[in-house]
Structure 1
Amino acid sequence: MDNSALLNGIKQLQENISGLNTRVLKVENSEVYILYIPHICDGVKIRDALITPILQYSKNDPISPKIIMESVIYAEEVKYENQLNKLTDYLLEGNSIIMVPNFPEYLIINTFKVDRRNIQSPEVESSLRAPRDAFNESLDTNLSLIRYRIKDSTLKIDMCKVGRRTKTSVAVLYLKDVTNNKFVEEVKKILSEIDVDGILESGYVQKYLSNKNATLFSQIGISERSDSSCAHILEGKLCILVEGSNIALTLPQNFIDFLDAGDDHYESMYWGIFIKDIRIMSIVISLTLSSMYVTIVAFDPDVLPSQYIFALAASRIAAPVNAVIEAILMEIAVELIREASIRLPRQIGPSVSIVGTIIIGQAAVAAGLVSPLMVIIVSLSSISSFITSDITLMYPIRLLKFLMLTLAGIFGLFGFIMGLTIVLVKICSITSFGVPYTAPISPFNFKEIKNFVLNNVVLDKERPEHLHTKDKKRQK
């Protein structure tokens, strides 16, 4: 394009893009235009890799985009382009544009830079022995953590842009010779069909990837640790990283995957068996303990020995409300304290949670509003909800706990059993990308259950059968 057309095009870009910088360099009776947005570009790189070498150009050949790319600038990522309608997108992605009058092509140089957190210890997936490197909001950093651990040429990283306005980069990672193609194709299809203004966090993508039938239980796992994500990839699953999010998504995910933690793989096999039993017990306690208390106290106290019945009656003699209202009020109070501790600043959040629970519990007992046993039950139920490594499993459990309380308060033992039946039927009816949510328990696979319980890398020689991987063997 000639100089006047170029100037008109730059003027139009400046009107469309706020903060666009245009640097004009005089080189050998010619002009070179460098366009960039300083807020998202590396100024030092532009100066050292682009401006300085271009100003030092002193050869007799007229300067051109081809000469600039091949023998002048020091940039690592450079490519040609001749479609002017893509200029705005390139600039907004953090690229610098080099244009020379009378040449239809222009150069695109990657100079993207934003302030980002350093790699820190995980906060969502805390553990004792697992590595301390956690994902942050930089997609390049997160990809490097995966590449650092999986040095395999079959590791595929498929990139796409999601969001009409944010144009968020989304990376789908999997092993080409291991992962089932059906999973890959379905995920790519869903991502390509997302038509929304913006994607700001991986939770947005998680909602689109979940089954269209609304369900409380998540079919997508989350991971903050790179070692955990790599373990899922090596199993034959997919890992999805979203630009601007420190949480990776893993799929397909079934129920028992939520019971797994990094420490289980690194510690003694016998400790892994014990702690898995504790996690299963914690889910049962969190879901049923309060409703079981209501069932026994309000409807069937005769299931207890006589001495316990008298002790229970004595503890509740001053309580002004029935057991159902008592349990619901205490559970709501605990949820209020839990939510407040999350939203408060980190320095005072934990203290508010602990002190608030103690003070409210003691005050409620002293005032005769609730029985001491109710405080113990609610506290134990609340503590149990923190034991699982993946917090997304406990969200539906915390909600279903109130369903169990309501049914037990209305129908007694029949309502308690009916509530358990509803929960179990719902879990058994879910699939995650065609994989049964209850696998390998249903359909039953003893070998997979054994491998899950033992968690011994020496004994676990095959990948999970329910993932239908191409390569079945982990080791010979």
Structure 2
Amino acid sequence: MGFLDGIRASKSQSNNKSKPPNNHFVAKDIVFNVDYLEKRFSDCSDIVFRKIKSNHKTNKDTIVLVFTDGLVEGMSINDGIIKQINLYSQIYNSKKINIDLLQNLLLVNEINRSNNFDEIIENILSGNTALFLEGSDEALILNTRGWESRAVEESSVESVIRGSKDAFVENIRTNTALIRRKLKDPNLKVKDLKVGSRSNTSIAVVYIGDITNQQLLNYVVNKLEEIEIDGIFDSGYIEQLLEENTYSLFPQMQVTERPDKVCANLLEGRMAILVDGSPDALILPIGFIQLFQSPGDYYERLVFANFVRLIRFFGFIIATTFPAIYVAITTFHQEILPTDFVLDIAKSRVEVPFPPIIEVLLMEGTIELLREASDRLPIKIGQTIGIVGAIVIGDAAVRANIVSPTMVVVIAITVIGSYIFPHFSTSYTMRFIRIPMILMAATFGAFGIIITWTWLIYHLCSLNSFGFAYLSPFAPSNLVDMKDAAIRAPLFGLKTRPIPTPKGKKSRK
């Protein structure tokens, strides 16, 4: 007969105990509590029920620990809980133990009480340990979280030459600690929420209380609390559920793995959303200009930083328009090029059976296939496929007269231009803009490119990120904020925060 079975047997012989009327709350009868949890956790082999005798003479002060194997730190349970109870029991064998005594006796850094089974179960599944004591209608929630996690290391998608090399990991508390290390400000607030009816994913909204716009904060928190979904497994879920313009090609939140980037944006009055299990933080609200900014822009000297930022803007034009310009010129506007250059292009296309638009679409499709294949394969094989595949296929396509050499050069420069942005996800926007730009260029020539750019600028002017103009500080115009737009002013000149913050507050990045 097991230990708990023995308790049940002794309880069945006693008539002075009664079952509680509401089984959603903890009872003083430990047998009832254990039975209830065993039913809720039926067929859950990773849920451990650890029995302890706090009094070796009688079973009246029986203690049961309930925790999830793999989510707890064994040392905390063994040394901080079980060892302390056994030591007390050996010294004071005849002394009755109670819940207040346990709360002061256990060596655990965080102890809470709860009498609600739903709350207790949520804590057990989050890595905490629930302690039930015979005769107590409350359980102790002990912080024993200690699962395996990835160590803090350099970001693989947002690397900088000069600057810190730490990046967020999948543990939300590690991520908030990385922010706290850089911003030792008591006004730095971390508001915890639970999202997902079944996953109960922990989400942290990080902001600086005396800087962040309170109306914006309340709006975002309310939107998060209104989310109805079974599970949240990455920050991408939150991004899609919060954004107001779902079908826009431009992101309304910025994704980053860098704590220093989050801290800089917090000081500008923005807020960050961290999701447990995701190494990416969401920054909001943002503007179009932020897609071109990198933490390295503020770590390098002024001239070099501005040169690199202007290169990014040039890369944006190349990534979105260069193939369309080639199609427009070769199809409609050959006269704008020097005669010798036009003849060279014509010679390279003599044996190509397809018009320029087909050439471009074939090459774009091939590049996308190679890009997707290299992402899905193991790292070493993927890099080989991406480099070797592009060279081999490009050379073979030229030799087979499927595309012209000039087209291969144009596509190669375009692909390079789409990868110079600080974060990889921005390249998706550039790649999708190219397609309608190419089609319009093939249909209307240079006028098609102008029409597409007019639509893009109109869309950017009408777009907003949580109520703030997406194209600010250009539309609406704000000369003060332009000190850190296309190019940045010296650090001593960046004295005011941008528009999303209370007027007059000063900041230095």
* Fold match by TM threshold 0.5: yes
Q: Structure 1 residue 102: deviation in Å?
A: 1.6
Counterparts of residues 139-150 of structure 1 (less than 5 Å): 139-150=172-183
Q: 2:227 aligns with which of 191, 194, 201?
A: 194
| Cα contact 1:6–1:101 (8 A) shared by 2 | no
**What is the distance in 1 between the residues matched to 2:256 and 2:454?**
30
**What is the distance in 2 between the residues matched to 1:10 and 1:32?**
14
Alignment correspondent of 2:283 = 250
- Based on CA coordinates, which of the two structures has the bigger radius of gyration? 2
Q: Which amino acid aligns with 1:454?
A: R
RMSD: 1.7
Q: Judge which range, 21-30 or 191-200, deviates more.
A: 21-30
Unpaired stretches in structure 1, ≥5 consecutive residues: none
The alignment partner of 1:137 has SS state of coil
| Cα contact 1:179–1:470 (8 A) shared by 2 | no
Q: 1:61 aligns with which of 90, 95, 105?
A: 95
Q: Which amino acid aligns with 2:74?
A: G
| 2:70 corresponds to 1:39 | yes
**What is the distance in 2 between the residues matched to 1:288 and 1:61?**
82
Counterparts of residues 89-108 of structure 1 (less than 5 Å): 89-108=122-141
Q: Judge which range, 188-197 or 9-18, deviates more.
A: 9-18
**What is the distance in 2 between the residues matched to 1:376 and 1:108?**
63
Structure 1, residues 429-466: CA drift from partner, whole Å, max 9, x if none? 100011111100111122221233125322211111x2
Q: Which amino acid aligns with 1:19?
A: D
Alignment correspondent of 1:22 = 49
Q: 2:433 aligns with which of 388, 391, 400?
A: 400
Q: 2:79 aligns with which of 40, 48, 52?
A: 48
Structure 1, residues 324-357: CA drift from partner, whole Å, max 9, x if none? 1011111111111122222221112222212211
Q: 2:112 aligns with which of 79, 90, 97?
A: 79
The alignment partner of 1:458 has SS state of helix
Alignment correspondent of 1:236 = 269
Structure 1, residues 353-412: CA drift from partner, whole Å, max 9, x if none? 122111111111122111111111000000000011023322122011011111111222
The alignment partner of 1:214 has SS state of coil
Q: Which amino acid aligns with 1:56?
A: L
| 2:332 corresponds to 1:305 | no
Q: Judge which range, 340-349 or 177-186, deviates more.
A: 340-349
| Cα contact 1:65–1:98 (8 A) shared by 2 | no
| Cα contact 2:270–2:285 (8 A) shared by 1 | yes
**What is the distance in 2 between the residues matched to 1:365 and 1:460?**
51
Alignment correspondent of 2:23 = none
Unpaired stretches in structure 2, ≥5 consecutive residues: 1-27
Q: Structure 1 residue 79: deviation in Å?
A: 1.2
**What is the distance in 1 between the residues matched to 2:118 and 2:150?**
34
- Relative to 1, partners in 2 of residues 1:11 and 1:270: Cα closer, same or farther, differing over 3 Å? closer
Structure 1, residues 249-272: CA drift from partner, whole Å, max 9, x if none? 001011000110111101110112
The share of aligned pairs that are identical, in percent, is: 34
Alignment correspondent of 1:261 = 294
Q: Structure 1 residue 318: deviation in Å?
A: 0.9
| Cα contact 1:178–1:470 (8 A) shared by 2 | no
- Using structure 1 for the length normalisation, give the TM-score: 0.96
Q: Structure 1 residue 84: deviation in Å?
A: 3.3
**What is the distance in 2 between the residues matched to 1:137 and 1:85?**
26
Counterparts of residues 5-404 of structure 1 (less than 5 Å): 5-15=32-42, 17-28=44-55, 29=58, 30-57=61-88, 58-59=91-92, 60-70=94-104, 72-404=105-437
Q: Which amino acid aligns with 1:27?
A: S
Alignment correspondent of 1:2 = 29
Q: Which amino acid aligns with 2:453?
A: L
**What is the distance in 2 between the residues matched to 1:180 and 1:332?**
44
- Using structure 2 for the length normalisation, give the TM-score: 0.90
Q: Structure 1 residue 19: deviation in Å?
A: 2.6
Q: 2:490 aligns with which of 456, 468, 474?
A: 456
| Cα contact 1:270–1:454 (8 A) shared by 2 | no
